[in-house]
Structures are given as structure tokens and as C-alpha cells.
Structure 1
Amino acid sequence: MSIVYNCRHCGNEIGKLENQIIDTSMLGFDHLSMEEKKEMIQYQSNGDIHVKTICESCEETLGQHPHYHELDFFIQ
């Protein structure tokens, strides 16, 4: 089982926790609403968990261009 973090905007892999049994509450998943969990967390058939987050580059871009928050995807 792996937990893979990908940027929701550019798709780049940010990080990966491999072959570890982790209590998801340690990762803060228990602080998310059901809607946030549906939006951010995808459970794969092989047991992996993919988490959509934001990378530093995209976060910086959003900071410089706040109107991009209105868009689902700002990187084409």
C-alpha cells in the first residue's frame, strides 16, 4: 500500500509514502469533511491511496494570480 500525493493543478507527484501501515488520522484525514474526502482522496483497487493537494509552484502561482481560484484548472 502506498499513499501518493499529487498536485490537483499540474498533476505532478509531490510525495509518496510506500509500504507503510499508517493511521490516516495521523495524516489529518479525520479533520476533513465528507465532501472534502470525496474531492481529495481516491482509493485504488490495489490498496493505494491517492491524495489531491497543491504543490509549492501552483500555490505560488495562485498567490500571484488570485483570480485563478475561480478555475478548476489553470494549467493547460
Structure 2
Amino acid sequence: MRIIYYCRHCHTNLGEIDGQRVDEARLGFRSLTPEEAADIITYNSIENSTYVKTVCEHCQEALDAHPELNLLSNPLQ
């Protein structure tokens, strides 16, 4: 299974991990609440992939410089 990290705001692919070599516990997925996991992690059984939302440096810098963007539902699109 591939684990694909992408930015939740600009949808940039930030990297991939071969899920065969690492388990969910090492990635910290098990420490998430069910609500957090539902918001962050999406499983695609057809592609045998897991998609993980995160925030890229560019978007984080924009959010840090303009905190009011956090009030929008999808601030950087």
C-alpha cells in the first residue's frame, strides 16, 4: 500500500511512502482520535493507497502571516 501525503489547501503532492515497509503505529495514525483520522486520512481500496492531508510550508507561511484565513472553509484556494 502506498501512503501519499498532500497539502489540504493547495493539493500539492508532498511525498509518498511505501506502506509495506512501515506500519500505521510508526506513522502516528493510531494516536489520532476517530474524528481526526476521518478528517486527515482517506483510504482508497481500488488504488490500494492511503491519502494523508497535511499542510505544505508555503500554505503554512501564508496562514501564519494571515491568521484570519483560518476562518475560511478552504482558505488558500
What TM-score, normalized by structure 1, do the two folds share?
0.91
Aligned to 1:11: 11
Q: Tell me the CA shift for residue 51 of structure 1.
A: 0.3
Tell me, yes or no, if structure 1 residue 22 matches structure 2 residue 11. Answer: no
Percent of aligned positions that are identical: 41
Structure 2: tracts of 5 or more residues without a match: none
The alpha carbon displacement at 1:38 in A equals 0.4
Moved beyond 2 Å, runs of 4+: 18-21
- CA shift digits 1:4-54 (9 cap, x unpaired): 001000000011113633210100111111000001000002221000110
What SS does the aligned partner of 1:57 have?
A: helix
Q: Give the whole-Å Cα distance in 2 for the aligned partners of 1:26 and 1:2.
A: 15
Contact 2:9 2:59 in 1 (8 A): yes
- What's 2:54 paired with? 53
What is the aligned residue count?
Answer: 76
Instruction: Give distance in 2, aligned partners of 1:70 and 1:29.
Output: 26
Tell me how far apart the structure 1 counterparts of residues 21 and 73 of structure 2 sit (CA, whole Å). Answer: 32
Equivalent residues in 2 for 1:33-52 (5 A)?
33-45=33-45, 46-52=47-53
- The answer to whether the 8 Å contact 2:69/2:76 transfers is no
- In 2, the alpha carbon distance for the partners of 1:15 and 1:71 equals 26
Unaligned runs of 5+ in 1: none
Q: Work out whether 1:74 is the aligned partner of 2:64.
A: no
Is the deviation greater in 13-22 or in 43-52? 13-22
